[in-house]
Structure 1
Amino acid sequence: MSDDDDEFEEEVSRDEVATGPGEAADPAWLVEAKMPADLRAKYEIYSYRSAATILAESHPTEFQELCEALREFEITKTMIRTAGGNESDIPKLLSAALRPKGWHETIIRGDLLVKLISRVQVGVQKNGKPKTEQRTRTIRREKYLDGHKVDYVKGRVAFDLEWNSKDQTFDRDLYAFSAFAQTGVIDVGVLVTRGGQEMTEFIKSLGQSLTKEGEPEFTKRGVPRMVGAKYGASTTWMGKLLYRMNAGRNGACPVLVIGITPACVVD
Protein backbone atom coordinates (compact mmCIF):
# COMPACT_ATOMS: atom_id res chain seq x y z
CA MET A 1 0.00 0.00 0.00
CA SER A 2 1.36 3.42 -0.97
CA ASP A 3 1.75 6.43 1.31
CA ASP A 4 -1.07 8.11 -0.63
CA ASP A 5 -3.36 5.18 0.18
CA ASP A 6 -2.45 5.41 3.87
CA GLU A 7 -3.18 9.14 3.93
CA PHE A 8 -6.50 8.59 2.14
CA GLU A 9 -7.59 5.92 4.64
CA GLU A 10 -6.63 8.14 7.58
CA GLU A 11 -8.58 11.07 6.09
CA VAL A 12 -11.67 8.92 5.53
CA SER A 13 -11.31 7.47 9.02
CA ARG A 14 -11.28 10.94 10.57
CA ASP A 15 -14.43 11.89 8.65
CA GLU A 16 -16.28 8.81 9.92
CA VAL A 17 -16.05 9.67 13.61
CA ALA A 18 -18.83 11.13 15.77
CA THR A 19 -17.98 13.05 18.92
CA GLY A 20 -21.38 12.43 20.45
CA PRO A 21 -24.90 11.12 19.86
CA GLY A 22 -26.93 12.82 17.13
CA GLU A 23 -30.61 13.64 16.77
CA ALA A 24 -31.40 9.97 16.21
CA ALA A 25 -30.45 9.18 19.82
CA ASP A 26 -32.86 9.20 22.73
CA PRO A 27 -32.65 12.16 25.14
CA ALA A 28 -30.16 11.91 27.99
CA TRP A 29 -32.92 12.04 30.60
CA LEU A 30 -34.31 8.74 29.31
CA VAL A 31 -30.97 7.02 29.86
CA GLU A 32 -30.72 8.57 33.32
CA ALA A 33 -34.22 7.34 34.16
CA LYS A 34 -33.64 3.74 33.10
CA MET A 35 -29.94 3.02 33.64
CA PRO A 36 -28.52 2.66 37.19
CA ALA A 37 -26.41 5.58 38.39
CA ASP A 38 -23.37 3.42 39.17
CA LEU A 39 -23.25 2.15 35.58
CA ARG A 40 -23.66 5.65 34.18
CA ALA A 41 -20.65 6.67 36.26
CA LYS A 42 -18.60 3.76 34.96
CA TYR A 43 -19.58 3.76 31.26
CA GLU A 44 -20.66 6.01 28.43
CA ILE A 45 -24.26 5.02 27.69
CA TYR A 46 -26.46 6.10 24.78
CA SER A 47 -29.86 4.80 23.74
CA TYR A 48 -31.38 4.64 20.26
CA ARG A 49 -35.03 3.90 19.43
CA SER A 50 -35.97 3.68 23.14
CA ALA A 51 -33.60 0.77 23.71
CA ALA A 52 -33.04 1.61 27.38
CA THR A 53 -36.77 1.63 28.08
CA ILE A 54 -37.45 -1.59 26.16
CA LEU A 55 -34.61 -3.41 27.87
CA ALA A 56 -35.42 -2.26 31.40
CA GLU A 57 -39.21 -2.53 31.22
CA SER A 58 -39.88 -5.44 28.86
CA HIS A 59 -36.92 -7.70 29.69
CA PRO A 60 -36.11 -7.19 33.38
CA THR A 61 -34.29 -10.50 33.85
CA GLU A 62 -31.91 -9.96 30.94
CA PHE A 63 -31.51 -6.33 31.96
CA GLN A 64 -30.45 -7.25 35.49
CA GLU A 65 -28.03 -9.91 34.26
CA LEU A 66 -26.37 -7.45 31.90
CA CYS A 67 -26.17 -4.82 34.64
CA GLU A 68 -24.53 -7.33 36.99
CA ALA A 69 -22.02 -8.36 34.33
CA LEU A 70 -21.14 -4.72 33.62
CA ARG A 71 -20.75 -3.98 37.34
CA GLU A 72 -18.34 -6.90 37.72
CA PHE A 73 -16.41 -6.02 34.58
CA GLU A 74 -12.92 -4.81 35.55
CA ILE A 75 -9.79 -4.64 33.43
CA THR A 76 -6.16 -3.77 34.12
CA LYS A 77 -3.54 -1.71 32.34
CA THR A 78 -1.66 -4.90 31.56
CA MET A 79 -4.69 -6.33 29.78
CA ILE A 80 -4.91 -3.24 27.62
CA ARG A 81 -1.19 -3.26 26.84
CA THR A 82 -0.94 -6.97 26.01
CA ALA A 83 -1.37 -8.26 22.47
CA GLY A 84 -4.18 -10.69 21.85
CA GLY A 85 -6.75 -9.25 19.48
CA ASN A 86 -10.19 -10.80 19.70
CA GLU A 87 -8.84 -13.61 21.87
CA SER A 88 -7.59 -11.27 24.58
CA ASP A 89 -8.65 -11.60 28.19
CA ILE A 90 -11.02 -8.65 27.99
CA PRO A 91 -13.88 -10.28 25.98
CA LYS A 92 -13.49 -13.43 28.07
CA LEU A 93 -14.50 -11.52 31.20
CA LEU A 94 -18.02 -10.96 29.89
CA SER A 95 -18.20 -14.49 28.52
CA ALA A 96 -17.48 -15.85 31.98
CA ALA A 97 -20.30 -13.76 33.43
CA LEU A 98 -22.96 -14.39 30.77
CA ARG A 99 -22.46 -17.86 29.29
CA PRO A 100 -23.45 -19.74 32.48
CA LYS A 101 -26.68 -17.72 32.60
CA GLY A 102 -27.83 -18.83 29.17
CA TRP A 103 -26.44 -16.16 26.86
CA HIS A 104 -25.56 -18.18 23.76
CA GLU A 105 -23.87 -17.45 20.45
CA THR A 106 -26.68 -17.54 17.91
CA ILE A 107 -26.89 -17.63 14.12
CA ILE A 108 -30.08 -16.79 12.24
CA ARG A 109 -31.04 -18.64 9.06
CA GLY A 110 -34.27 -18.57 7.14
CA ASP A 111 -35.97 -19.03 3.79
CA LEU A 112 -38.28 -16.40 2.31
CA LEU A 113 -41.69 -17.67 1.22
CA VAL A 114 -43.52 -15.26 -1.09
CA LYS A 115 -47.11 -15.78 -2.30
CA LEU A 116 -48.36 -13.98 -5.40
CA ILE A 117 -52.16 -13.91 -5.38
CA SER A 118 -53.68 -12.90 -8.72
CA ARG A 119 -57.17 -12.47 -10.12
CA VAL A 120 -57.05 -14.00 -13.62
CA GLN A 121 -59.70 -13.68 -16.33
CA VAL A 122 -60.71 -17.11 -17.60
CA GLY A 123 -63.68 -16.24 -19.76
CA VAL A 124 -66.81 -14.10 -20.11
CA GLN A 125 -70.09 -14.45 -18.26
CA LYS A 126 -73.50 -14.47 -20.01
CA ASN A 127 -74.00 -10.88 -19.04
CA GLY A 128 -70.74 -9.94 -20.74
CA LYS A 129 -68.77 -9.35 -17.58
CA PRO A 130 -65.34 -10.97 -17.21
CA LYS A 131 -65.21 -14.33 -15.45
CA THR A 132 -62.20 -14.52 -13.11
CA GLU A 133 -60.51 -16.96 -10.81
CA GLN A 134 -58.07 -16.44 -7.98
CA ARG A 135 -54.74 -18.15 -8.52
CA THR A 136 -51.77 -18.35 -6.20
CA ARG A 137 -48.13 -18.75 -7.09
CA THR A 138 -45.50 -19.41 -4.45
CA ILE A 139 -41.86 -18.37 -4.68
CA ARG A 140 -39.35 -19.76 -2.22
CA ARG A 141 -35.99 -18.04 -1.81
CA GLU A 142 -33.81 -20.41 0.15
CA LYS A 143 -31.26 -19.00 2.59
CA TYR A 144 -32.72 -15.51 2.31
CA LEU A 145 -31.18 -15.00 5.73
CA ASP A 146 -28.01 -16.95 6.37
CA GLY A 147 -25.05 -16.56 8.64
CA HIS A 148 -25.94 -13.45 10.63
CA LYS A 149 -24.39 -14.10 14.04
CA VAL A 150 -24.66 -12.46 17.44
CA ASP A 151 -22.25 -13.52 20.17
CA TYR A 152 -24.76 -13.41 23.03
CA VAL A 153 -28.53 -13.91 22.78
CA LYS A 154 -30.96 -14.66 25.58
CA GLY A 155 -34.71 -14.44 25.28
CA ARG A 156 -35.38 -11.49 23.00
CA VAL A 157 -32.21 -9.57 23.83
CA ALA A 158 -28.96 -9.55 21.82
CA PHE A 159 -25.60 -8.48 23.19
CA ASP A 160 -22.17 -8.04 21.64
CA LEU A 161 -18.75 -6.69 22.60
CA GLU A 162 -16.22 -5.16 20.22
CA TRP A 163 -12.99 -4.29 22.03
CA ASN A 164 -10.41 -3.84 19.28
CA SER A 165 -11.50 -5.09 15.86
CA LYS A 166 -11.61 -3.29 12.53
CA ASP A 167 -14.36 -0.68 12.67
CA GLN A 168 -16.22 -2.37 9.78
CA THR A 169 -17.13 -5.02 12.35
CA PHE A 170 -19.75 -2.59 13.63
CA ASP A 171 -21.55 -2.77 10.28
CA ARG A 172 -21.72 -6.54 10.59
CA ASP A 173 -23.02 -6.34 14.17
CA LEU A 174 -25.67 -3.73 13.41
CA TYR A 175 -26.83 -5.57 10.31
CA ALA A 176 -27.14 -8.75 12.37
CA PHE A 177 -29.12 -6.90 15.06
CA SER A 178 -31.41 -5.51 12.36
CA ALA A 179 -31.94 -8.94 10.77
CA PHE A 180 -32.76 -10.50 14.15
CA ALA A 181 -35.20 -7.67 14.93
CA GLN A 182 -36.95 -7.64 11.56
CA THR A 183 -37.69 -11.35 11.82
CA GLY A 184 -39.10 -10.94 15.32
CA VAL A 185 -36.31 -12.84 17.07
CA ILE A 186 -35.20 -9.96 19.32
CA ASP A 187 -36.66 -6.71 20.60
CA VAL A 188 -33.44 -4.90 21.49
CA GLY A 189 -29.68 -5.09 21.05
CA VAL A 190 -26.84 -4.00 23.34
CA LEU A 191 -23.41 -3.18 21.92
CA VAL A 192 -20.36 -2.55 24.13
CA THR A 193 -17.10 -1.07 22.84
CA ARG A 194 -14.18 1.10 23.94
CA GLY A 195 -15.19 4.53 25.09
CA GLY A 196 -14.53 7.82 23.36
CA GLN A 197 -11.87 10.48 23.72
CA GLU A 198 -11.26 9.99 27.46
CA MET A 199 -10.51 6.29 26.98
CA THR A 200 -8.39 7.00 23.90
CA GLU A 201 -6.19 9.44 25.80
CA PHE A 202 -5.92 7.03 28.73
CA ILE A 203 -4.72 4.23 26.44
CA LYS A 204 -2.15 6.52 24.84
CA SER A 205 -0.76 7.28 28.29
CA LEU A 206 0.06 3.62 28.97
CA GLY A 207 3.34 3.70 27.08
CA GLN A 208 4.83 0.64 25.40
CA SER A 209 2.70 -2.36 24.46
CA LEU A 210 3.43 -5.92 25.56
CA THR A 211 3.67 -9.21 23.67
CA LYS A 212 1.46 -12.17 24.60
CA GLU A 213 4.35 -13.35 26.76
CA GLY A 214 4.32 -10.05 28.68
CA GLU A 215 7.58 -8.74 27.19
CA PRO A 216 7.96 -5.17 25.83
CA GLU A 217 6.89 -5.10 22.19
CA PHE A 218 8.93 -3.62 19.34
CA THR A 219 8.26 -2.95 15.67
CA LYS A 220 10.18 -4.76 12.91
CA ARG A 221 12.58 -1.82 12.90
CA GLY A 222 13.34 -2.31 16.56
CA VAL A 223 11.41 0.74 17.69
CA PRO A 224 9.23 0.40 20.82
CA ARG A 225 5.62 -0.14 19.82
CA MET A 226 3.33 2.14 21.77
CA VAL A 227 -0.04 1.03 23.09
CA GLY A 228 -1.84 3.80 21.23
CA ALA A 229 -0.69 2.31 17.92
CA LYS A 230 -2.67 -0.87 18.67
CA TYR A 231 -5.88 1.06 19.15
CA GLY A 232 -6.05 3.18 16.01
CA ALA A 233 -8.76 5.47 14.70
CA SER A 234 -10.04 2.77 12.33
CA THR A 235 -10.68 0.20 15.09
CA THR A 236 -13.83 -0.37 17.13
CA TRP A 237 -14.38 2.49 19.58
CA MET A 238 -17.22 4.82 20.49
CA GLY A 239 -16.50 7.48 17.87
CA LYS A 240 -16.82 4.92 15.08
CA LEU A 241 -19.96 3.36 16.55
CA LEU A 242 -21.82 6.62 17.18
CA TYR A 243 -21.07 7.68 13.60
CA ARG A 244 -22.96 4.60 12.40
CA MET A 245 -25.76 4.92 14.95
CA ASN A 246 -26.34 8.57 14.06
CA ALA A 247 -26.59 7.50 10.41
CA GLY A 248 -29.28 4.94 11.28
CA ARG A 249 -27.32 1.83 10.38
CA ASN A 250 -29.10 -0.09 13.13
CA GLY A 251 -32.22 0.00 10.96
CA ALA A 252 -35.39 -0.59 12.95
CA CYS A 253 -33.59 -2.33 15.82
CA PRO A 254 -33.42 -0.46 19.15
CA VAL A 255 -29.79 -0.45 20.32
CA LEU A 256 -28.24 0.47 23.66
CA VAL A 257 -24.64 1.66 23.16
CA ILE A 258 -22.17 1.30 26.05
CA GLY A 259 -18.59 2.61 26.10
CA ILE A 260 -15.84 1.26 28.36
CA THR A 261 -14.10 4.12 30.18
CA PRO A 262 -11.03 4.42 32.45
CA ALA A 263 -13.40 3.89 35.39
CA CYS A 264 -13.38 0.19 34.41
CA VAL A 265 -9.58 0.00 34.93
CA VAL A 266 -8.88 -1.13 38.48
CA ASP A 267 -5.15 -0.43 38.72
Structure 2
Amino acid sequence: MYDTNTYEDPLVLDPAIRARWTFLETSSAAAVLRAVCPEEWRDITEVLGAFSLDPIRWLKSGGNRGDIAQEIDRMFSERGWREIRVDLSTHGVLIAKNGEVVDRLLPMEQEGYLVDNFKGRVALDVEWNAKDGNLDRDLSAYRAWHEAGVISAAALITQDRLALKELAHRLWAAYQDSLPVDQRNPRLPMDLSTSTTTNLEKAALRVRRGVMGTCPLLVVAATQATWNGQPYSP
Protein backbone atom coordinates (compact mmCIF):
# COMPACT_ATOMS: atom_id res chain seq x y z
CA MET A 1 0.00 0.00 0.00
CA TYR A 2 2.88 2.38 0.75
CA ASP A 3 6.49 2.73 -0.28
CA THR A 4 5.74 2.06 -3.92
CA ASN A 5 8.04 3.49 -6.60
CA THR A 6 6.09 4.08 -9.81
CA TYR A 7 7.96 7.39 -10.20
CA GLU A 8 10.98 5.35 -11.27
CA ASP A 9 9.17 4.26 -14.46
CA PRO A 10 10.38 6.53 -17.31
CA LEU A 11 6.90 6.29 -18.86
CA VAL A 12 5.49 7.86 -15.70
CA LEU A 13 8.15 10.46 -14.87
CA ASP A 14 10.90 11.92 -17.03
CA PRO A 15 14.24 10.54 -15.73
CA ALA A 16 15.72 14.07 -15.96
CA ILE A 17 13.19 15.25 -13.36
CA ARG A 18 13.63 12.09 -11.31
CA ALA A 19 17.38 12.81 -11.08
CA ARG A 20 16.87 16.30 -9.64
CA TRP A 21 14.49 15.47 -6.78
CA THR A 22 14.02 12.77 -4.16
CA PHE A 23 10.65 10.99 -4.17
CA LEU A 24 8.53 8.96 -1.80
CA GLU A 25 5.04 7.71 -2.60
CA THR A 26 2.14 5.68 -1.29
CA SER A 27 -0.35 3.64 -3.30
CA SER A 28 1.44 4.19 -6.64
CA ALA A 29 0.72 7.93 -6.48
CA ALA A 30 2.79 9.00 -9.51
CA ALA A 31 1.15 6.43 -11.76
CA VAL A 32 -2.29 7.32 -10.40
CA LEU A 33 -1.71 11.02 -11.04
CA ARG A 34 -0.48 10.39 -14.58
CA ALA A 35 -3.41 8.11 -15.43
CA VAL A 36 -6.30 9.74 -13.57
CA CYS A 37 -5.28 13.42 -13.41
CA PRO A 38 -3.13 13.95 -16.54
CA GLU A 39 -3.50 17.75 -16.65
CA GLU A 40 -2.55 18.16 -13.01
CA TRP A 41 0.33 15.68 -13.41
CA ARG A 42 1.61 17.68 -16.36
CA ASP A 43 1.55 20.83 -14.22
CA ILE A 44 3.43 19.10 -11.41
CA THR A 45 6.12 17.74 -13.71
CA GLU A 46 6.49 21.09 -15.48
CA VAL A 47 7.03 22.86 -12.16
CA LEU A 48 9.52 20.24 -10.98
CA GLY A 49 11.35 20.47 -14.29
CA ALA A 50 11.49 24.27 -14.29
CA PHE A 51 12.29 24.98 -10.64
CA SER A 52 15.90 25.34 -9.50
CA LEU A 53 17.07 26.11 -5.99
CA ASP A 54 18.71 29.54 -6.09
CA PRO A 55 21.02 30.29 -3.11
CA ILE A 56 20.06 33.98 -3.19
CA ARG A 57 16.43 33.18 -2.37
CA TRP A 58 17.14 30.06 -0.34
CA LEU A 59 19.88 31.18 2.10
CA LYS A 60 17.86 33.84 3.86
CA SER A 61 15.44 34.01 6.75
CA GLY A 62 11.77 33.94 5.94
CA GLY A 63 9.96 31.17 7.78
CA ASN A 64 7.53 28.72 6.22
CA ARG A 65 6.22 31.21 3.64
CA GLY A 66 9.65 32.38 2.53
CA ASP A 67 10.81 32.98 -1.01
CA ILE A 68 11.12 29.31 -1.98
CA ALA A 69 7.58 28.31 -1.00
CA GLN A 70 6.16 31.47 -2.58
CA GLU A 71 8.05 30.86 -5.81
CA ILE A 72 6.75 27.30 -6.14
CA ASP A 73 3.21 28.36 -5.23
CA ARG A 74 3.38 31.09 -7.87
CA MET A 75 4.41 28.56 -10.51
CA PHE A 76 1.32 26.50 -9.72
CA SER A 77 -0.92 29.57 -9.60
CA GLU A 78 0.19 30.47 -13.12
CA ARG A 79 -1.09 27.05 -14.18
CA GLY A 80 -4.55 27.54 -12.70
CA TRP A 81 -4.08 26.07 -9.22
CA ARG A 82 -5.80 27.86 -6.33
CA GLU A 83 -5.31 28.20 -2.60
CA ILE A 84 -8.58 26.85 -1.26
CA ARG A 85 -10.22 25.44 1.85
CA VAL A 86 -11.90 22.05 1.68
CA ASP A 87 -14.70 21.42 4.19
CA LEU A 88 -16.55 18.12 4.52
CA SER A 89 -20.19 17.64 5.50
CA THR A 90 -21.45 14.12 6.26
CA HIS A 91 -25.20 13.49 6.20
CA GLY A 92 -26.63 10.32 7.78
CA VAL A 93 -29.92 8.90 6.53
CA LEU A 94 -31.83 6.06 8.24
CA ILE A 95 -33.60 3.88 5.67
CA ALA A 96 -36.02 1.07 6.45
CA LYS A 97 -35.89 -2.33 4.77
CA ASN A 98 -38.65 -1.28 2.37
CA GLY A 99 -36.62 1.75 1.28
CA GLU A 100 -38.60 4.30 3.28
CA VAL A 101 -36.56 7.15 4.78
CA VAL A 102 -37.11 6.88 8.52
CA ASP A 103 -34.98 9.78 9.70
CA ARG A 104 -32.22 12.16 8.68
CA LEU A 105 -29.43 12.66 11.17
CA LEU A 106 -27.86 16.00 11.89
CA PRO A 107 -24.96 16.60 9.50
CA MET A 108 -21.43 16.24 10.84
CA GLU A 109 -19.27 19.13 9.72
CA GLN A 110 -15.50 18.87 9.34
CA GLU A 111 -13.76 22.18 8.76
CA GLY A 112 -10.68 21.94 6.59
CA TYR A 113 -7.74 24.28 6.11
CA LEU A 114 -6.31 26.36 3.29
CA VAL A 115 -4.44 23.92 1.09
CA ASP A 116 -1.67 25.74 -0.80
CA ASN A 117 -2.64 24.49 -4.25
CA PHE A 118 -5.77 22.71 -5.46
CA LYS A 119 -6.83 21.81 -8.99
CA GLY A 120 -9.21 19.21 -10.36
CA ARG A 121 -8.97 16.31 -7.93
CA VAL A 122 -5.48 16.95 -6.61
CA ALA A 123 -4.35 18.73 -3.42
CA LEU A 124 -0.75 19.93 -3.17
CA ASP A 125 1.04 21.67 -0.31
CA VAL A 126 4.50 23.25 -0.27
CA GLU A 127 5.91 22.60 3.21
CA TRP A 128 9.38 24.11 2.94
CA ASN A 129 10.27 25.36 6.40
CA ALA A 130 7.13 25.06 8.51
CA LYS A 131 6.73 23.35 11.89
CA ASP A 132 6.57 19.62 11.33
CA GLY A 133 3.15 19.49 12.98
CA ASN A 134 1.81 20.83 9.68
CA LEU A 135 2.49 17.40 8.20
CA ASP A 136 0.02 15.78 10.60
CA ARG A 137 -2.63 18.27 9.50
CA ASP A 138 -1.86 17.84 5.81
CA LEU A 139 -1.72 14.05 5.74
CA SER A 140 -4.84 13.53 7.84
CA ALA A 141 -6.72 15.95 5.61
CA TYR A 142 -5.55 14.22 2.42
CA ARG A 143 -6.74 10.88 3.76
CA ALA A 144 -10.15 12.27 4.78
CA TRP A 145 -10.63 14.00 1.44
CA HIS A 146 -9.66 10.86 -0.47
CA GLU A 147 -11.97 8.66 1.58
CA ALA A 148 -14.78 11.17 0.95
CA GLY A 149 -14.12 11.04 -2.79
CA VAL A 150 -13.00 14.68 -3.05
CA ILE A 151 -9.47 14.00 -4.34
CA SER A 152 -7.85 11.21 -6.33
CA ALA A 153 -4.35 11.87 -4.99
CA ALA A 154 -2.23 14.40 -3.10
CA ALA A 155 1.29 15.75 -3.39
CA LEU A 156 3.66 17.40 -0.95
CA ILE A 157 6.77 19.38 -1.91
CA THR A 158 9.42 19.74 0.79
CA GLN A 159 13.18 19.44 1.25
CA ASP A 160 15.79 16.81 2.01
CA ARG A 161 17.01 18.61 5.14
CA LEU A 162 20.31 16.83 5.70
CA ALA A 163 21.44 17.02 2.08
CA LEU A 164 20.57 20.71 1.80
CA LYS A 165 22.12 21.51 5.17
CA GLU A 166 25.47 20.22 3.93
CA LEU A 167 25.14 22.19 0.68
CA ALA A 168 24.15 25.38 2.53
CA HIS A 169 27.20 25.25 4.78
CA ARG A 170 29.45 24.62 1.80
CA LEU A 171 28.04 27.56 -0.19
CA TRP A 172 28.15 29.88 2.83
CA ALA A 173 31.77 28.93 3.61
CA ALA A 174 32.78 29.64 0.02
CA TYR A 175 31.09 33.05 0.19
CA GLN A 176 32.79 33.90 3.48
CA ASP A 177 36.18 32.97 2.03
CA SER A 178 35.62 35.61 -0.65
CA LEU A 179 35.20 38.38 1.94
CA PRO A 180 37.84 40.34 3.82
CA VAL A 181 38.61 38.67 7.13
CA ASP A 182 37.05 41.47 9.19
CA GLN A 183 33.73 41.12 7.31
CA ARG A 184 33.29 37.38 7.68
CA ASN A 185 30.38 35.87 9.61
CA PRO A 186 30.36 32.10 10.12
CA ARG A 187 26.66 32.02 10.96
CA LEU A 188 24.16 31.31 8.22
CA PRO A 189 21.33 33.86 7.88
CA MET A 190 18.84 31.01 8.43
CA ASP A 191 18.60 28.35 11.13
CA LEU A 192 19.38 24.89 9.79
CA SER A 193 20.08 23.31 13.17
CA THR A 194 16.47 22.46 14.06
CA SER A 195 15.05 19.11 13.04
CA THR A 196 11.45 20.05 13.91
CA THR A 197 10.62 21.67 10.58
CA THR A 198 8.92 20.00 7.64
CA ASN A 199 11.25 17.82 5.59
CA LEU A 200 11.49 14.48 3.80
CA GLU A 201 12.56 12.57 6.91
CA LYS A 202 9.58 13.82 8.95
CA ALA A 203 7.16 13.03 6.12
CA ALA A 204 8.62 9.54 5.68
CA LEU A 205 8.19 8.75 9.39
CA ARG A 206 4.49 9.51 9.15
CA VAL A 207 3.96 7.75 5.83
CA ARG A 208 5.57 4.55 7.10
CA ARG A 209 3.17 4.46 10.02
CA GLY A 210 0.44 3.92 7.45
CA VAL A 211 -1.34 7.20 8.19
CA MET A 212 -2.37 7.67 4.54
CA GLY A 213 -4.64 4.63 4.39
CA THR A 214 -5.35 4.06 0.69
CA CYS A 215 -4.78 7.69 -0.32
CA PRO A 216 -2.09 8.00 -3.03
CA LEU A 217 0.48 10.53 -1.83
CA LEU A 218 3.57 11.72 -3.67
CA VAL A 219 6.24 13.39 -1.53
CA VAL A 220 8.82 15.36 -3.52
CA ALA A 221 11.93 16.70 -1.80
CA ALA A 222 14.50 19.17 -3.08
CA THR A 223 18.04 17.89 -2.75
CA GLN A 224 21.50 19.02 -3.83
CA ALA A 225 20.68 18.10 -7.43
CA THR A 226 17.85 20.68 -7.36
CA TRP A 227 20.41 23.47 -6.81
CA ASN A 228 21.02 25.69 -9.86
CA GLY A 229 24.79 25.36 -9.49
CA GLN A 230 25.33 29.05 -8.71
CA PRO A 231 27.34 30.33 -5.71
CA TYR A 232 25.85 32.43 -2.96
CA SER A 233 26.58 36.01 -3.92
CA PRO A 234 24.17 38.67 -2.58
Normalised TM-score (structure 2): 0.83
Whether the aligned pair in 1 keeps the contact of 2:93 and 2:101 (CA below 8 Å) is no
**Counterpart position of 1:233:** 195
Corresponding residue pairs, total: 216
- Report the 3-state secondary structure (helix = DSSP H, G, I; strand = E; otherwise coil) of the residue aligned with 1:140: coil
**Counterpart position of 2:58:** 80
Whether the aligned pair in 2 keeps the contact of 1:150 and 1:177 (CA below 8 Å) is no
> Within the alignment, does 1:141 sit opposite 2:107 as a pair?
yes
Whether the aligned pair in 1 keeps the contact of 2:21 and 2:223 (CA below 8 Å) is yes
Could you tell me which runs of 5 or more consecutive residues in structure 1 were left unpaired when the two chains were aligned: 1-22, 120-131, 209-222
Q: What does 1:178-189 correspond to in 2, within 5 Å?
A: 178-189=143-154
Residue by residue, what CA displacement relative to the aligned partner does 1:7-29 show, whole Å, maximum 9, x if unpaired?
xxxxxxxxxxxxxxxx8310x4x
- Report the 3-state secondary structure (helix = DSSP H, G, I; strand = E; otherwise coil) of the residue aligned with 2:86: strand
Q: What does 1:99-248 correspond to in 2, within 5 Å?
A: 99-117=77-95, 136-142=102-108, 144-207=109-172, 225-226=187-188, 229-230=191-192, 232-248=194-210
What is the deviation of 1:69? 0.9
What is the deviation of 1:228? 6.9
Whether the aligned pair in 1 keeps the contact of 2:88 and 2:112 (CA below 8 Å) is no
What is the deviation of 1:262? 1.5
Whether the aligned pair in 2 keeps the contact of 1:206 and 1:227 (CA below 8 Å) is no
Cα gap change, 1:163 to 1:133, in 2 (>3 Å): closer
Q: Output the amino acid matched with 1:141.
A: P
Could you tell me which runs of 5 or more consecutive residues in structure 2 were left unpaired when the two chains were aligned: 174-184
Cα gap change, 1:100 to 1:135, in 2 (>3 Å): closer
Q: What does 1:17-32 correspond to in 2, within 5 Å?
A: 24-26=2-4, 28=5, 30-32=6-8
What is the deviation of 1:257? 1.0
Q: Output the amino acid matched with 1:137.
A: D
**Distance in 2, Cα, partners of 1:251 & 1:227:** 39
Which sits farther off after the overlay, 103-112 or 255-264? Answer: 103-112
Residue by residue, what CA displacement relative to the aligned partner does 1:3-54 show, whole Å, maximum 9, x if unpaired?
xxxxxxxxxxxxxxxxxxxx8310x4x2211221011110001221110110
**Distance in 2, Cα, partners of 1:24 & 1:101:** 29
Which sits farther off after the overlay, 145-154 or 50-59? Answer: 145-154
Decide which structure has the larger Cα Rg and report it: 1
What is the deviation of 1:146? 0.9
> Within the alignment, does 1:254 sit opposite 2:216 as a pair?
yes
Cα gap change, 1:133 to 1:72, in 2 (>3 Å): closer
What is the deviation of 1:226? 3.5
Provide the identity percentage. 29
What is the deviation of 1:118? 5.1
**Structure richer in strand, relative to its length:** 1
Q: Output the amino acid matched with 1:75.
A: L
- Report the 3-state secondary structure (helix = DSSP H, G, I; strand = E; otherwise coil) of the residue aligned with 1:25: strand
Cα gap change, 1:101 to 1:226, in 2 (>3 Å): closer
Cα gap change, 1:140 to 1:46, in 2 (>3 Å): same
Cα gap change, 1:134 to 1:160, in 2 (>3 Å): closer
Which sits farther off after the overlay, 65-74 or 105-114? Answer: 105-114
Q: What does 1:62-81 correspond to in 2, within 5 Å?
A: 62-81=40-59
- Report the 3-state secondary structure (helix = DSSP H, G, I; strand = E; otherwise coil) of the residue aligned with 1:229: coil
